[in-house]
Amino acid sequence: MALDLERFHGPDPNTVLRAERAFLAVNEVDRIIVTGSGGNLHPFLPLDPFHGVHRAYAWQGVGPPQFVQVNCTAARHADGRYGWTWPVGQVHSYDRLTVIAAISDPLSGRLQDPAWVFSAPMFRRLAYLSRGQDGHDQYWIEASPTGHDRFARHRTTLGDVWQRLVLAGQEQLMAAPPESTRDQGTVYEQLVAADLIRQSRGRFALYRPGMDIAGRDLLVQLVDTWRTISLQIKGTTMIVRGTRIQCLVKRWTFRPSEDFWLAFYFFDVERGSFGKYCWLVPSLDFAALTADQHFPRSINFQVTIEGEDNRWRKFRHEIDSQAVVLHKALLSLTR
């Protein structure tokens, strides 16, 4: 079965369901907030998604949570303003609930500057209230991306959204988590998941393990099929010997199989995002290429930051092509 690359990269935006766009946008908000805060704001995903809250974010995972509702269904008007609507029953009003109005590109799934961030009580005071075409009451706003209007002081860049979710005094506690900790690994997993959701345009269903003991960080399913690949995600912010990155794979979690891959990333702290390349390595290939290593507890993956190494060169991919690579791998699986 051939992969239709043109269709994969650019589906007709009219076929992208409203709910799917919202789901992609919330995961894009995760990426923006996690990276912007230096990994200090940790996302909590609702198990019961029917209360008008898409995420809760807690400072370093333990602070008082900030609850967030995201609306990315902006409609652009002829005068350049953007408009959003909310069913009245989906907008609640309590302390530490934040409403984010965002602009989503229907083709890429990326959010665009600016964004509008409101406390829920303020949102209910400022938003207009009317009856929608379906006969139900709705809140709505129309805001200019550059001009001065009643919503202008709530307008901000995407890169600064995270600052609106920080309680007084928390930012003083900001500190990058230590290298190779479980917390840092969780941040990488969240960022990879958000990228794959965005890039796959609904073709992947992603799962995280309920018990994190087997070395599988993400389960990637080709939607409506039996085809799955498990990923173990390894990331680092450190450059060793001037040009190289290094990650360690624990032997007791490494069980090679056709449907198990390892994914290696360099996270650029200054840019707040992954580097240009990633390395997606099938576990069977990884086992063969590291068979000469005899360290008792771990296997060492080491590569130059630009990926010139001959051993690993064919596994190097542009960061925005991850979904294409995994899509091809999923289609090639045998039962």
The model's pLDDT over 263-291, given as tens digits with 9 standing for 90+, comes to 999 988 777 778 889 999 999 999 999 99
Task: Inform me whether the pLDDT recorded for 93 exceeds 90.
Answer: no
Residue ranges per structural domain of the chain: 5-173, 182-332
pLDDT value, residue 19: 66
Inter-CA distances, 298 with 30, 116, 246, 253, 282, Å: 31, 46, 12, 9, 17
- Tell me phi and psi for residue 93, to 5 degrees: -140, 100
Arithmetic mean of pLDDT, 167-194: 64
Write out the two tokens for 235.
């990331």
Pairing of strands 97-104, 66-71: parallel
* Orientation angle between helical segments 182-200 and 322-332, nearest 10 degrees: 80
CATH for 5-173 is 3.40.1350.10
Q: How confident is the model at residue 40 (pLDDT cuts 50, 70, 90)?
A: confident
* pTM recorded for the entire structure: 0.70
Question: Residue 52: which residues within 8 A CB-CB, separation 6 or more?
Answer: 69, 90, 91, 92
Q: Using one digit for the tens of pLDDT, what is the confidence trace for 309-323? A: 778 999 999 999 999
Which of 18-27, 107-116, 170-179 is predicted least confidently?
170-179
With tokens 């190494």, the residue in question is 309
pLDDT value, residue 319: 92
Task: Inform me whether the pLDDT recorded for 82 exceeds 80.
Answer: yes
Task: Inform me whether the pLDDT recorded for 184 exceeds 80.
Answer: no
pLDDT value, residue 18: 65
Arithmetic mean of pLDDT, 106-123: 89
pLDDT value, residue 10: 47
Task: Inform me whether the pLDDT recorded for 123 exceeds 60.
Answer: yes
Identity of the highest mean pLDDT range in 118-122, 175-179, 311-315, 331-335: 118-122
Which of 96-100, 174-178, 288-292 is predicted least confidently?
174-178
| pLDDT higher at 178 or 290 | 290
Inter-CA distances, 168 with 63, 67, 165, 172, 256, Å: 11, 16, 10, 9, 48
* Orientation angle between helical segments 182-200 and 18-36, nearest 10 degrees: 150
| pLDDT higher at 168 or 240 | 240
- Domain 182-332, what fold? Trna Endonuclease; Chain: A, domain 1 (3.40.1350)
Alpha carbons 274 and 245: distance in angstroms, whole number: 13
Alpha carbons 46 and 60: distance in angstroms, whole number: 18
Arithmetic mean of pLDDT, 5-23: 55
Task: Inform me whether the pLDDT recorded for 4 exceeds 60.
Answer: no
Task: Inform me whether the pLDDT recorded for 178 exceeds 50.
Answer: no
| pLDDT higher at 271 or 57 | 57
Question: CB–CB of 304/316 below 8 Å?
Answer: no
pLDDT value, residue 232: 93
pLDDT value, residue 15: 45
| Rg, C-alpha atoms of the chain | 21
Are domains 5-173 and 182-332 of this chain identical in fold?
yes
- pLDDT, the chain, mean: 84
Q: How confident is the model at residue 6 (pLDDT cuts 50, 70, 90)?
A: very low
Task: Inform me whether the pLDDT recorded for 126 exceeds 60.
Answer: yes
pLDDT value, residue 212: 62
Q: How confident is the model at residue 171 (pLDDT cuts 50, 70, 90)?
A: low
